């Protein structure tokens, strides 16, 4: 890797890119039918090829040669240094730079900071100044670095699979455009992803004014239509909710996975965690009631959880409304709500919720999940209003993006069918793959003479289109984006387009006949908005990552129209009397399928099921029993006479009588990584059943191998994750430590010449009370530390390489289980068992208490792994990076060695970051400040559950946390003296409810 760094540092970025994409290795990858480099690794040729990747592996081979053929290894390799010819301004080779930009995702812009090494973006962090991020990120943002360097991204315009140039496209387009212009764009249709970019929106309106008769449809498989429609019902206009979870004492979530799936989840998690963080037994905590079907990570954080079929969630909402109005004198606009027939325990649950809400008027919140129908959203809004939560907890702004995507796509498909559309432009989406099955978009597309498809990949849709245009990655182009609250950020490129991509903005300007590059277009737009373009303001916008001076949406005051809401309820379709229901939801790893070709995401275990490289039909144990299937058996699910086979996955704590189908798998043209991984559940998703649909499920033939990173789900009564209620904590703050008694440490060794007292002494705190198990840390670590992926077959052999893993245990009864998350990085034990057994001193201790791992010293006895009670060590059983495409090297962190096969590796507390800051401090002749060194996992964590620092500095955050009564170390009876410690988890149950 170092070699790479040296070269890249001294070379203008575009050159290195040309070189890379032009390099023979690369071509081979771009052209040949690819080896499935994540598959079985038996038929390897000798390791020599690895030399290409890093000189470490070269050394290995050198050693090998030495061992085998004697002294051949002693000749010195010729290395070149390629300096710039002119030094770009404010670039200092060897010193990474950070730029602020914004990532378009889920119809909003997520503010990020990107680290760039000599023109290679290598790491993504949250932007502390950005309201939707506050410095944290989700895994998708972290992983988009890998997406940028994905060699499977489309590189050239293509006409029916044949490579073309942009000029050729223009010559093809121009006559068609003039024809279209003549008819005002009749027959022209655009299908795009909803965007949070004002510039892009402006450009779209421009298009529509240029082609008045053209139609514009937005469609994203995972959309917010329900919520927006709900707001229309309740408030009479499309409205967006800004929820301040840090203001809520009681949260009632109606199937809303607001900590992960809902937009702005990172901010939600931050605010939510703010009210779970306790320093002493006097602190209070919020209480979360979760009513859901699937077992979501939000559900795993709930204090009370009601598992119920998706169609019943609405009934619960109605029962809640009834109970509030009937028993807790809550005024619901004079509308009377009939009692709802539900089972007694459910009603009891509802009653308690109602009681708790009533007790916390103005300090509570009711939210409905995106998969719930509009009326549920409307009712939730109404309840918030009735409970006086509007204002203190939830605020409304206009919805900049009215939605109606579901009707949109259906309508478009219809008019494609009737031949009204003769020129379709698909901008970014992948309708062929993810449009509702019943509209059969592929067939409709065939009826459209000209289809132009702009996309990051030559995907399922592009394959069917007459023209495919390569799109730029968001890190390659200019643009802008709105945070959830409307705050704007400029999207600035970190790197010149690696391939011949153009952004949607640029493509639209092509259609306008005024080709321009994105940079100019964005500046032009802001110049228009600011009246006159101000360079200083522009620079500040780029520097801060947010456009200065209140660009947030204006708040709107709206009173709910109760009659409308209840009218909507009266129109509500009756829930299916009996039979199973399916619920479609985005996948925790690949979302709607757009990350399917991202090996980091594919190998990232699902936070709850721990499944990698797959999706499955999630169902409760009882449901599985009733179907007569076991985990991994194939079941055939049919919805409205559409049928598919999918593996069943038994999930404790899931609602009976329902099957959850994660979206985003079973892609056919995702790329080498994503093709044919998992099951395409879009096949069952129809316009009428986009979220919830009645279904029949029966046992299928055969078994499917679902691979999990965690095979055993129970704690076996071991005090690993320590948990208590707030009450227990108040009674006995020490409860966590008393859950395990450790014998007094006695030692054979009395003459210890050293101890770990001289500051700094590094330590890490992990607060189990705020960890939501979202996996952001795992991906951040993977990106920071060049952690390889190994593929499904190797994970099946328990050979995954993650340096930080999140253990998830189910506690309580299998049917109605609760779940706990426990991130496990290296414990950096002071008395590290791994060190004692290493015969070559390859792992040992630094003065500041780091358990160091010296790859170049390691001979790979694996004894350390055996002797690690936490099993955090990872061994390179094979040359994982052997068949890795050349270009992936550019995603590597140059400060971290790329490990070759045969060596052990593990979490280092990001020693490279420690050293960097230490050197900075030394050069400046100053001391390190607390919080100056931030580990990758800590930086990404949306809930600030991870805190790193100097344990010997009494003022440091980590030292204060260590001092808390809740803090405990894992397996302290082994006297390993871990530096990583945990803060016990607390639940805040409603006591009456417990009694009930």
DSSP label at 606? P
Q: Which of 100, 381, 107 is nearest to 265 (CA)?
A: 107
Under the criterion CB under 8 A, does residue 879 sit at the interface with other proteins? yes
Q: Which residue in 33, 334, 748, 757 binds other proteins (CB under 8 A)? A: 748
Report which secondary-structure segment, H or E, holds 66: helix 55-69
200: three-class secondary structure by DSSP: helix
d(CA 542, CA 557): 32
Tokens representing 77 are 């390799």
Under the criterion CB under 8 A, does residue 856 sit at the interface with other proteins? yes
924: left (phi over 0), alpha (psi -120 to 50) or beta: alpha
Report which secondary-structure segment, H or E, holds 321: helix 310-327
Under the criterion CB under 8 A, does residue 746 sit at the interface with other proteins? no
> At its nearest, how many Å lie between other proteins and the CB of residue 970?
8
53 versus 541: smaller Cβ distance to other proteins: 53
Scan residues 955-984 and list those touching other proteins (CB under 8 A). Answer: 971, 974, 976-977
Q: Which residue in 538, 595, 870, 948 binds other proteins (CB under 8 A)? A: 870
Q: Which residue in 561, 645, 830, 932 binds other proteins (CB under 8 A)? A: 830
860: three-class secondary structure by DSSP: coil
d(CA 291, CA 262): 15
Under the criterion CB under 8 A, does residue 854 sit at the interface with other proteins? yes
563 versus 836: smaller Cβ distance to other proteins: 836
d(CA 199, CA 488): 11
Q: What residues are paired with 364 via a beta bridge? A: 250
> At its nearest, how many Å lie between other proteins and the CB of residue 68?
8
Binding mask 235-254 for other proteins (x = CB under 8 A): --------------------
563 versus 915: smaller Cβ distance to other proteins: 915
Total chain residues near other proteins (CB under 8 A): 131
Backbone angles phi, psi at 470, to 5 degrees: -70, 135
Under the criterion CB under 8 A, does residue 46 sit at the interface with other proteins? yes
Contact segment (CB under 8 A) with other proteins among 325-333, 444-452, 773-781, 793-801 equals 793-801
> At its nearest, how many Å lie between other proteins and the CB of residue 42?
6
d(CA 190, CA 204): 9
d(CA 418, CA 755): 81
71 versus 162: smaller Cβ distance to other proteins: 71
d(CA 17, CA 119): 10
Q: Which residue in 72, 95, 163, 443 binds other proteins (CB under 8 A)? A: 95
Contact segment (CB under 8 A) with other proteins among 174-182, 378-386, 389-397, 837-845 equals 837-845
- Look-up of token digits 């308690």: 352
847 versus 991: smaller Cβ distance to other proteins: 847
Tokens representing 285 are 């905590």
655 versus 914: smaller Cβ distance to other proteins: 914
CA atoms within 13 A on the CB side of 86: 2
343 versus 841: smaller Cβ distance to other proteins: 841
> At its nearest, how many Å lie between other proteins and the CB of residue 934?
17
17 versus 158: smaller Cβ distance to other proteins: 17
176 versus 857: smaller Cβ distance to other proteins: 857
Q: What residues are paired with 239 via a beta bridge? A: 398
Distances (CA, A) of 691 to 48, 639, 662: 51, 12, 11
Using DSSP bridges, classify how beta strands 617-619 and 642-650 pair: parallel, antiparallel or unpaired: parallel
Under the criterion CB under 8 A, does residue 300 sit at the interface with other proteins? no
d(CA 469, CA 461): 11
> At its nearest, how many Å lie between other proteins and the CB of residue 737?
17
d(CA 95, CA 382): 54
Under the criterion CB under 8 A, does residue 711 sit at the interface with other proteins? yes
Tokens representing 426 are 């698909």
**Residue 167, C-beta contacts closer than 8 angstroms, at least 6 positions apart:** none
77: three-class secondary structure by DSSP: coil
d(CA 543, CA 561): 44
Scan residues 491-530 and list those touching other proteins (CB under 8 A). Answer: none
Q: Which of 254, 252, 228, 318 is nearest to 574 (CA)?
A: 318
Under the criterion CB under 8 A, does residue 641 sit at the interface with other proteins? no
Contact by Cβ (8 Å): 847, 757: no
Under the criterion CB under 8 A, does residue 26 sit at the interface with other proteins? no
Scan residues 146-185 and list those touching other proteins (CB under 8 A). Answer: none
Q: Describe the crossing of helices 13-22 and 2-9 by its angle, rounded to 10 degrees.
A: 130
> At its nearest, how many Å lie between other proteins and the CB of residue 588?
18
694 versus 860: smaller Cβ distance to other proteins: 860
Q: Which of 256, 232, 237 is nearest to 317 (CA)?
A: 256
d(CA 691, CA 226): 10
d(CA 453, CA 169): 12
**Residue 347, C-beta contacts closer than 8 angstroms, at least 6 positions apart:** 319
Under the criterion CB under 8 A, does residue 573 sit at the interface with other proteins? no
Scan residues 797-816 and list those touching other proteins (CB under 8 A). Answer: 797-799, 805, 807-809
DSSP label at 169? H
Under the criterion CB under 8 A, does residue 763 sit at the interface with other proteins? no
Under the criterion CB under 8 A, does residue 123 sit at the interface with other proteins? no
Q: Which residue in 33, 839, 955, 995 binds other proteins (CB under 8 A)? A: 839
71 versus 577: smaller Cβ distance to other proteins: 71
> At its nearest, how many Å lie between other proteins and the CB of residue 136?
25
Under the criterion CB under 8 A, does residue 867 sit at the interface with other proteins? yes
Under the criterion CB under 8 A, does residue 838 sit at the interface with other proteins? yes
> At its nearest, how many Å lie between other proteins and the CB of residue 879?
6
Q: Which of 503, 495, 492, 480 is nearest to 109 (CA)?
A: 480
Report which secondary-structure segment, H or E, holds 985: strand 985-987
Q: Which residue in 243, 546, 673, 896 binds other proteins (CB under 8 A)? A: 896
> At its nearest, how many Å lie between other proteins and the CB of residue 727?
27
> At its nearest, how many Å lie between other proteins and the CB of residue 617?
24
Under the criterion CB under 8 A, does residue 632 sit at the interface with other proteins? no
Using DSSP bridges, classify how beta strands 304-307 and 287-292 pair: parallel, antiparallel or unpaired: parallel
165 versus 866: smaller Cβ distance to other proteins: 866
649 versus 911: smaller Cβ distance to other proteins: 911
47 versus 581: smaller Cβ distance to other proteins: 47
> At its nearest, how many Å lie between other proteins and the CB of residue 1?
6
443 versus 847: smaller Cβ distance to other proteins: 847
User: E-assigned strands of 211-368?
Assistant: 215-218, 239-243, 250-254, 287-292, 304-307, 364-368
Q: Which residue in 739, 865, 932, 957 binds other proteins (CB under 8 A)? A: 865
DSSP label at 988? -
Under the criterion CB under 8 A, does residue 705 sit at the interface with other proteins? no
Q: What residues are paired with 950 via a beta bridge? A: 762
621 versus 790: smaller Cβ distance to other proteins: 790
Q: Which residue in 11, 458, 667, 685 binds other proteins (CB under 8 A)? A: 11
Under the criterion CB under 8 A, does residue 44 sit at the interface with other proteins? yes
> At its nearest, how many Å lie between other proteins and the CB of residue 817?
15
Binding mask 51-90 for other proteins (x = CB under 8 A): ---xxx--xx--xx-xxx--x--xxx-xxxxxxxxxx---
């Amino acid at each position: 890797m170092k070699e790479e760094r040296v070269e890249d540092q001294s070379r203008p970025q575009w050159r290195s890119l040309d070189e890379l994409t032009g390099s023979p290795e690369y071509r081979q990858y771009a052209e040949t039918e690819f080896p499935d480099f994540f598959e079985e690794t038996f038929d390897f040729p000798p390791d020599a090829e690895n030399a290409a990747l890093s000189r470490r592996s070269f050394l290995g081979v050198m050693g090998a040669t030495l061992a085998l053929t004697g002294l051949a290894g002693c000749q010195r390799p010729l290395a070149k240094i390629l300096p710039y010819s002119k030094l770009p301004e404010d670039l200092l080779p060897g010193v990474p730079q950070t730029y602020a930009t914004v990532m378009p995702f889920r119809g909003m812009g997520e503010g990020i900071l990107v680290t760039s090494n000599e023109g290679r973006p290598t790491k993504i962090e949250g932007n502390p100044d950005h309201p939707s991020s506050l410095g944290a990120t989700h895994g998708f943002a972290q992983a988009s670095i890998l997406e940028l360097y994905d060699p499977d991204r489309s590189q050239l315009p293509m006409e029916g699979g044949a490579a073309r140039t942009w000029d050729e496209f223009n010559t093809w387009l121009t006559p068609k455009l003039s024809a279209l212009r003549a008819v005002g764009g009749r027959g022209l249709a655009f299908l795009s992803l909803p965007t949070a970019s004002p510039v892009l929106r402006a450009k779209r309106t421009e298009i529509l004014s240029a082609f008045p008769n053209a139609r514009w449809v937005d469609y994203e498989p995972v959309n917010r239509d329900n919520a927006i429609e709900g707001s229309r019902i309740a408030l009479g206009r499309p409205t967006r909710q800004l929820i301040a979870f840090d203001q809520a004492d009681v949260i009632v979530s109606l199937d809303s996975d607001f900590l992960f799936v809902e937009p702005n989840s990172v901010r939600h998690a931050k605010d939510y965690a703010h009210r779970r963080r306790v320093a002493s037994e006097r602190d209070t905590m919020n209480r979360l009631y979760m009513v859901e079907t699937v077992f979501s990570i939000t559900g795993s954080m709930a204090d009370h959880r009601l598992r119920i079929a998706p169609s019943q969630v609405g009934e619960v909402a109605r029962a809640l409304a009834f109970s509030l109005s009937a028993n807790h004198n809550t005024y619901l606009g004079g509308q009377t709500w009939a009692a709802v027939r539900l089972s007694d325990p459910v009603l009891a649950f509802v009653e308690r919720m109602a009681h708790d809400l009533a007790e916390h008027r103005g300090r509570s919140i009711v939210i409905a999940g995106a998969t719930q129908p509009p009326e549920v959203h409307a009712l939730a809004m109404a309840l918030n209003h009735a409970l006086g939560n509007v204002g203190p907890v939830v605020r409304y702004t206009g919805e900049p993006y009215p939605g109606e995507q579901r009707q949109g796509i259906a309508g478009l498909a219809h008019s494609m069918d009737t031949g009204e559309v003769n020129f379709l432009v698909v901008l970014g989406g992948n309708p062929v793959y993810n449009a509702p099955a019943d509209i059969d978009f592929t067939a409709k597309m065939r009826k459209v003479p000209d289809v132009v498809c702009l996309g990051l990949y030559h995907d399922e849709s592009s394959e069917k289109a007459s023209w495919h245009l390569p799109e730029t990655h968001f890190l390659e182009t200019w643009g802008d984006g709105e945070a959830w609250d409307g705050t704007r950020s400029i999207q600035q490129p970190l790197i010149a387009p690696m391939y011949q991509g153009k952004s949607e903005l640029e493509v639209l300007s092509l259609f306008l006949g005024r080709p321009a590059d994105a940079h100019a277009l964005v500046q032009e737009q802001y110049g228009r908005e600011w009246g006159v373009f101000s360079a200083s303001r522009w620079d500040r916008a780029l520097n801060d990552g947010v456009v200065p001076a209140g660009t947030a949406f204006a708040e709107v005051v709206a009173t709910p129209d109760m009659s409308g809401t209840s009218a909507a309820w009266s129109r509500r379709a009756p829930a299916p009397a009996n039979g199973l229901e399916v619920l479609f939801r985005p996948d925790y790893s690949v979302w709607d399928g757009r990350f399917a070709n991202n090996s980091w995401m594919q190998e990232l275990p699902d936070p709850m099921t721990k499944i990698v490289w797959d999706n499955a039909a999630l169902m409760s144990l009882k449901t599985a029993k009733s179907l007569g299937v076991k985990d991994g058996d194939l079941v055939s699910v049919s919805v409205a006479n559409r049928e598919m086979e999918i593996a069943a996955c038994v999930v404790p704590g899931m609602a009976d009588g329902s099957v959850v189908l994660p979206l985003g798998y079973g892609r056919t043209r995702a790329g080498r990584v994503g093709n044919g991984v998992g099951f395409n559940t879009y096949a069952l998703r129809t316009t009428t059943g986009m979220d919830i649909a009645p279904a029949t499920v029966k046992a299928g033939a055969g078994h499917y191998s679902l691979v999990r990173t965690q095979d055993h789900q129970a704690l076996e009564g071991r005090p690993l994750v320590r948990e208590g209620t707030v009450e227990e904590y108040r009674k006995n703050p020490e409860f966590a430590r008393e859950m395990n008694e450790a014998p007094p440490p006695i030692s054979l060794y009395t003459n210890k010449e050293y101890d770990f007292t001289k500051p700094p002494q590094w330590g890490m705190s992990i607060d189990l009370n705020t960890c939501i198990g979202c996996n952001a840390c795992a991906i951040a670590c993977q990106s920071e530390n060049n952690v390889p992926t190994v593929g499904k077959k190797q994970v099946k052999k328990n050979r995954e390489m993650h340096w930080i893993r999140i253990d998830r245990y189910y506690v309580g009864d299998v049917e109605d289980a609760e779940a706990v998350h426990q991130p496990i990085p290296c414990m950096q034990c002071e008395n590290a068992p791994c060190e004692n057994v290493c015969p070559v001193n390859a792992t040992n201790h630094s003065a500041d208490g780091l358990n160091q791992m010296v790859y170049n010293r390691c001979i790979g006895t694996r004894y350390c792994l055996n002797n690690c009670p936490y099993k955090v060590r990872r061994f390179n059983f094979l040359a994982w990076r052997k068949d890795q495409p050349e270009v992936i090297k550019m995603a590597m962190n140059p400060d971290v060695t790329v490990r070759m096969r045969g060596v052990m590796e593990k979490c280092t507390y990001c020693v490279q970051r420690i050293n960097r800051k230490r050197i900075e401090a030394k050069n400046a002749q100053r001391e390190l400040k607390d919080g100056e060194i931030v580990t990758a996992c800590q930086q990404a964590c949306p809930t600030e559950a991870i805190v790193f620092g100097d344990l010997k500095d009494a003022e440091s955050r980590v030292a204060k946390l260590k001092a808390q009564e809740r803090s405990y170390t894992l397996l302290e009876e082994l006297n390993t003296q871990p530096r990583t410690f945990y803060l016990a988890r607390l639940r805040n149950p409603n006591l009456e409810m417990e009694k009930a």
